[in-house]
Amino acid sequence: MTYETILFEVSADKVATVTINRPEALNSFNKQMCVEFRDLWARLRDDDSVHAVVLQAAPGRAFCTGVDVKNASDILMSDQLWSKVDPGEYLGPKFNKLWKPVIAAVHGYCAGGALYWINECDIVICSDDAAFFDPHVTYGLVAALEPIGLRQRLNLSEVLRMVLMGNDERIGAQTALRISLVTEVTRLESLRPRAHEIAALIAAKPTLAVQGSIRAIWESLDATRSSALQTALKYPLLANRESVPRVNREAVMKAEKVFVTR
C-alpha cells in the first residue's frame, strides 16, 4: 500500500519511525488513515528488520485532534448499523497484534480519538507544550471507547475528570507526568531524538524476549491475576530457549556501562 496520510521509514538501528502526516487538519484521522494504519501495523509485525517503533506526528499545533470532523460520517467503516467498527481496531497497534514496542512522542494537542494511540503504546513521552483532553461531552457526544481504553493507564477519577471537564480543561505536560499518562517530559526540540533514543535502546535487546514480555503483560490486562500468571508461563517457555543464547550474559554483566537514572 502507498500511504497518503502517514510517513514511514526504518533506520539502521532497527527502529521504524511512523509519522501521522495531516498537519493541514491538525493531524486528525479519517477513514483513509485508519485503513493505512491497519496495513502498516501488519507490515511492521512481519518485518524482521524492525525491532521497535516510534510514533510521532507532523510538526504543528497538534499531535492529533481525533477524528476529522469534516469527514466523520464514514469513520465507522460502514453505513450498516451492525457492520460498524470502532476506528480503534484499525489505529491501535495492540488491537492489530503488534507486539514490538511502540514509543509515542506527543507534542501539542492530543485530544479525543488521539487516545486510541496513547492507550496502546508501550511508552509515552511528551514535550512541554503537550495538552491532553477529551472534548466529546462538550459537543454533546458520549465519551466511551477512548476513556475505557485509558483506564488501563490512569485511575478512574482522572479518567472521569478528563471526560466530564471536556473542552474546559487541558492536562498539561507536568500533570500528565504526575498522573502517569506519560513517563517523561522533554523540550519540544528534544522530543523526537529522545523517543528514538529510547526505541533504539530497546531495539538492541533480543527481540523475542521483548515481544514476549510485551505480549504477556498486555494480555494479562484482560484476565484475573491467577489466570494471567498461568497463561504467562507459556511465553518464557516458548521464547527463552530461542532468545537467551543470542546474548552473552557474562559479557553483559562485565561490560562497563553508564546507567541512566530517572
Write the pLDDT tens digit of every residue in 62-108.
Answer: 999 999 988 777 777 777 877 778 899 999 999 999 999 999 999 99
Closest CA to 99 of 261, 236, 258, 212: 212
Amino acid in position 34: C
Say how far apart CA 144 and CA 95 lie, in whole Å: 17
- What is the per-residue pLDDT for 29? 96
- What is the per-residue pLDDT for 83? 78
- What is the per-residue pLDDT for 241? 66
- What is the per-residue pLDDT for 237? 80
Q: Which residues of the chain are modeled with pLDDT < 50?
A: none
Question: Are 53 and 14 within 8 A, CB to CB?
Answer: no
Give Cβ neighbours of residue 196 (< 8 Å, ≥ 6 apart). Answer: 11, 15, 17, 54
- What is the per-residue pLDDT for 243? 54
Say how far apart CA 146 and CA 195 lie, in whole Å: 23
C-alpha cell at 160: 472521569
Domain segments of the chain as ranges: 6-203, 207-254
- What is the per-residue pLDDT for 80? 80
Write the pLDDT tens digit of every residue in 191-200.
Answer: 999 999 999 9
Domain 6-203 has CATH 2.40.160.60: no
- What is the per-residue pLDDT for 70? 84
Whether this prediction's pTM lies above 0.95 is answered by: no
Question: Are 25 and 53 within 8 A, CB to CB?
Answer: no
- What is the per-residue pLDDT for 26? 97
- What is the per-residue pLDDT for 248? 67
- What is the per-residue pLDDT for 204? 96
